[in-house]
Structure 1
Amino acid sequence: MSTRKKTASKGRGRRKAAPRTPFKQRVTRWFFGAVLLLGALAVLLVLLFRVVNPPTGVYMFSESRRLGGVARDWLPLEQIAPVMARSAVAAEDANFCNHWGFDMQAIRTAIENGSERGASTISQQTVKNVYLWHGRSWLRKALEAGMTPLLEALWPKRRIIEVYLNVAEFDEGVFGVGAAAPHYFGVSAADLSAKQAARLAAILPDPKGRSASRPSPFTRKRTAQIMDGAATIRADGRAACFES
């Protein structure tokens, strides 16, 4: 009787080992867990900089280290001449108020012309300047493509253009219109004329190769085009999303 009890007790004590999760399944779980974590982090960062002014960006930080500092004076949009915002939009992204982060018509035109110039929106450039790094790697482009709609969903257009004007590079070591206006013209950003604003917008694609104070014939011609464009988007309502 005693032996049977011992045998039964021993039998009950043996439990089957839980089957191990296949390696492929574990890797898949880790991968999706990492993706969810990165996605949550991206949402938090985008929400944070909706209300907090970005202290720097990857490119700005690297330039500051290389040059031993950069010139930058953060300004709210209310302290920037309204024509500056219109000029930047006219120069870089005329359909800024009408798209959700990507200008599909501009992308199609750029592809047809065999060029990427003109396809990058202000929203994309803001994502790149604030959260990412400069370069043409597929990883950066993928991150930019994922974060741009997120920025559009969580920031109002007015905030996007405000941040853009404060982080864009206007000369070597000069970031934001608050530093660019006195650097080139000796005036505050609030006192920029239509021509000065258009001149600053004209150098945005190549701030180290173009000068707003010593414009080339091309820059002068581009300035005139931007002045016309800024007046046009004001008249047809394409500036309404960022003008109070």
Structure 2
Amino acid sequence: MARKSSKRTSKAKVKRRFRPGRWLFRWTLRGVSVVFLVAVVAALLWSVINPPTTLYMMQESRRLGGVDHEWVPMEEIAPIMARAAVAAEDANFCLHWGLDVVAIRRAIDAGASRGASTISQQVVKNVYLWHGRSWVRKVMEAAMTPLVEALWSKRRILEVYLNVAEFDEGVFGIEAAARHYFGVGPDALTNVQAARLAAILPNPKGRSASQPSSFVRKRAGQILDGAATIRADGRARCFQS
């Protein structure tokens, strides 16, 4: 009996022996679960609550001594502005799930000389992350974007995008941009004004919507054509009521 008891004790010790691989796996799994839960909560929060600011806005506010920003719901934004932004930045916005694989392949083929970020990715970067070209941010952006796409409507994604995008130094969101450049509310923007605002989005500090260069004028014309195209072929259906 004593021998059997000794064997059982020995086996119990073997079972309780520390296994670093298993321990590491267990805690890694727990860490990933916590991060995923936090990401889900964060995505759900801003799906119903309007983000009051972003990290980049706060950085610019400290640098400039304040920024011009006021939230406006999608219902108070001229429909052409939404179509123009999509035509300019992400024509297939209604067709993808956050990452435009076709655009990414084209960017790679072009030697990464052109951008491939979707509107959804830009929203994730602006609302949850920081500006920069680090691989860490890119990986986090790529992981978070499908989650936002799953929990937000396309209309909500575009609404947030138009409200946090930078349109000039210290000017954030379509409400501030419409008044800054044209002295009107976002609901009163004309087709040309909306197209010019969309045309400056990739380089808001280097372009002007009210005093457009020949490039901005030409780009605005292309955007108007694109906005008409996505309205006609149904690629604006996911965000227009």
Whole-angstrom distance in 2 between the partners of 1:110 and 1:135: 18
Question: What amino acid sits opposite 2:31 in the alignment?
Answer: A
Q: Does 1:232 align with 2:232?
A: no
TM-score, with structure 2 as normaliser? 0.92
Q: Does 1:146 align with 2:143?
A: yes
Alignment equivalent of 2:91, drawn from 91, 94, 115: 94
| Partner SS, residue 28 of structure 2 | helix
| Correspondence 1:73-112 to 2 at 5 A | 73-112=70-109
Give CA deviations for 1:160-179 in whole Å, capped at 9, x if unaligned: 00000000000111110011
Q: Does 1:33 align with 2:34?
A: no
TM-score, with structure 1 as normaliser? 0.91
| Correspondence 1:131-210 to 2 at 5 A | 131-210=128-207
Between stretches 95-104 and 28-37, larger displacement belongs to 28-37
Q: Which residue of 2 aligns with 1:117?
A: 114
* Larger-gyration structure (1/2): 1
| Partner SS, residue 209 of structure 1 | coil
When residues 21 and 107 of structure 1 are mapped into structure 2, their CA distance, relative to the original with a 3 A threshold, is: same
Whole-angstrom distance in 2 between the partners of 1:21 and 1:63: 50
How far 1:69 moved relative to its partner?
1.3
**Structure 2 unmatched runs, 5+:** 1-5
How far 1:24 moved relative to its partner?
3.1
Runs of 4+ off more than 4 Å: 14-18
Q: Does 1:54 align with 2:38?
A: no
Q: How many residues of Structure 1 are paired with residues of Structure 2 in the alignment? A: 233
Alignment equivalent of 1:68, drawn from 65, 68, 71: 65
| Partner SS, residue 211 of structure 2 | coil
Q: Which residue of 2 aligns with 1:7?
A: none
**Structure 1 unmatched runs, 5+:** 1-10
Does the CA-based 8 Å contact 1:92-1:118 persist in structure 2? no
Sequence identity (%): 66
